[in-house]
């Protein structure tokens, strides 16, 4: 996998909205100021000024043109997505994948940006970063942990995932894992569960063969999560991968009435679903939509998991 060189101070960083719009014009100026305060030069894409239908940052052509400009310009070294939302999938059949593969840049974002991570990894051999976005995370939530993880992921060739204080990883299906299995490894892939589900059966379907699959989501009912995980199982994606890492499932609650005040929330669903799965399932990684912590993950890097200690190492 081709991971671009780390960013340097005074590098040009292109800001764009591949999905939903910024809305407030004053936020565009704030995006630029944040990037300048990091020591980079902000280049603002046309998509930041566009709003089409309320949920699209302009037409698909405008957003594709932004991506093509960012990847084709030699003076652009990084591409930061400003926010997620909806509609990045509209771009997939319009992108020049040869252009992107031949002009690798640091590319960061998450949520609906999962659409682009999958195709950049698989069609362009480009390593990308599942990490904070400018408006979504850097306005008010770019705390020390999130910032350090972001730059560590971009700058280091090998490093270990570090948990925030008072947070810990767990192995959901420990009773089902052979004691002789001490490590698993594979190329890291994945992102938002709903977006991954939408990729199935298309030319842009995620490939999990011999990989470590990372999953996260936001604002989904328990029943919807159950349905999506079951579909992922039936599609063979869970059988194909070497193991699973579960990140945040922010605001994913059970809104259904239960009998005798029975507790059946996210933890119970995940334990039921993965309890008999015969490959390691690590739960509790601080990456996804939950605030304030967000670890940046290098999609396309080798991920090695120590099953006994739950230590996770990434190597580009």
Is 147 among the domain residues?
A: no
Is 80:133 a contact under the CB 8 Å cutoff?
A: yes
Residues 83 and 204 in one domain: no
Residues 135 and 220 in one domain: no
Alpha-carbon dihedral sign for residues 95, 98, 102, 107: positive
Got the DSSP string for 16-72? E-SSS----HHHHHHHHHHHHHTTPEEEE-GGGG--BTTTBSS-HHHHHHHHHHHHH
Q: Which of 19, 216, 220, 287 is catalytic?
A: 216
Pseudo-torsion of CA 292, 112, 133, 96, nearest 10°? 160
Is 271 among the domain residues?
A: yes
Residues in the chain: 316
Is 153 among the domain residues?
A: no
Is 152 among the domain residues?
A: no
Please identify, among 96, 116, 142, the residue that sits at the C-terminal boundary of a domain. Answer: 142
Return the pLDDT at 305: 97
Q: Which of 89, 117, 286, 289 is catalytic?
A: 289
Half-sphere exposure (CA, 13 Å, Cβ side) for 314? 27
| 195: CATH | 3.50.30.60
Residues 75 and 132 in one domain: yes
Q: What is the DSSP letter of 136?
A: I
111 is catalytic: yes
Alpha-carbon dihedral sign for residues 199, 201, 205, 210: positive
What's the total number of domains in the chain?
A: 2
289 is catalytic: yes
Please identify, among 115, 142, 169, the residue that sits at the C-terminal boundary of a domain. Answer: 142
pTM of the model: 0.97
Please give the Cα distance from 261 to 257 (Å, whole number): 8
Is 5 among the domain residues?
A: no
Residues 213 and 183 in one domain: yes
Residues 164 and 232 in one domain: yes
Please give the Cα distance from 199 to 261 (Å, whole number): 37
Is 196 among the domain residues?
A: yes
Residues 95 and 176 in one domain: no
Is 2 among the domain residues?
A: no
216 is catalytic: yes
E strands along the chain, which residues? 12-16, 41-44, 76-81, 106-109, 128-130, 158-160, 170-171, 183-192, 211-218, 243-250, 281-283, 297-299, 302-306, 311-315
Q: Which of 87, 111, 136, 149 is catalytic?
A: 111
Residues 186 and 302 in one domain: yes
Taking residues 309-314, report their average pLDDT.
Answer: 96
Choose between 175 and 150: higher pLDDT: 150
Range of the domain at 125: 12-142
Decide if pLDDT at 2 tops 80: yes
Taking residues 107-133, report their average pLDDT.
Answer: 98
Residues 165 and 134 in one domain: no
Residue 299 is encoded by which pair of tokens?
């999609």
Beta partners for residue 211, in sequence order: 187
Residues 180 and 37 in one domain: no
Average confidence score pLDDT of the chain: 96
List all residues 6 or more positions away from 142 whose beta carbon is below 8 Å from its beta carbon. 34, 132
Return the pLDDT at 258: 81
Residue 29 is encoded by which pair of tokens?
């100026």
Taking residues 201-205, report their average pLDDT.
Answer: 98
Residues 109 and 244 in one domain: no
Residues 165 and 311 in one domain: yes
Is 195 among the domain residues?
A: yes
| 46: CATH | 3.40.50.10740
Residues 126 and 168 in one domain: no
Please give the Cα distance from 69 to 285 (Å, whole number): 34
pLDDT tens, 76-118?
999 999 999 999 999 999 999 999 999 999 999 999 999 999 9
């Amino acid at each position: 996998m081709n991971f671009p060189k780390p960013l340097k101070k005074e590098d040009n960083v292109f800001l764009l909205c591949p999905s939903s719009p910024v809305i407030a014009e004053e936020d565009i100026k704030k995006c630029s100021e944040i990037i300048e305060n990091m020591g980079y030069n902000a280049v603002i894409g046309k998509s930041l000024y566009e709003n089409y239908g309320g949920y699209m940052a302009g037409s698909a052509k405008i957003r594709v043109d932004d991506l093509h400009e960012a990847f084709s310009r030699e003076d652009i070294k990084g591409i930061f997505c400003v926010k997620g939302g909806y509609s990045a999938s509209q771009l997939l059949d319009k992108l020049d994948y040869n252009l992107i593969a031949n002009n690798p840049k640091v590319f960061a974002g998450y949520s609906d940006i999962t659409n682009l991570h999958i195709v950049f990894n698989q069609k362009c051999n480009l390593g990308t970063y599942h990490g904070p976005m400018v408006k979504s995370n850097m306005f008010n939530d770019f705390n020390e942990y999130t910032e350090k993880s972001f730059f560590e992921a971009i700058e280091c060739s090998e490093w270990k995932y570090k948990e925030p204080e008072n947070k810990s990883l767990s192995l959901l299906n420990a009773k089902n894992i052979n004691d002789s299995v001490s490590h698993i490894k594979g190329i890291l892939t994945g992102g938002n569960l709903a977006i991954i589900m939408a990729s199935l059966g298309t030319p842009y379907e995620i490939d999990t063969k011999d990989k470590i699959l990372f999953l996260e989501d936001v604002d989904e009912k328990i029943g919807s999560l159950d349905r999506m995980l079951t579909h992922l199982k039936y599609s063979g994606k869970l059988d194909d991968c070497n193991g699973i890492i579960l990140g945040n499932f922010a605001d994913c609650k059970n809104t259904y009435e239960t009998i005798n005040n029975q507790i059946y929330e996210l933890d119970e669903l995940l334990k039921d679903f993965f309890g008999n799965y015969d490959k390691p399932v690590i739960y509790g990684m601080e990456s996804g939509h939950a605030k304030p912590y967000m670890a940046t993950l290098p999609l396309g890097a080798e991920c090695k998991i120590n099953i006994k200690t739950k230590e996770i190492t990434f190597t580009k």
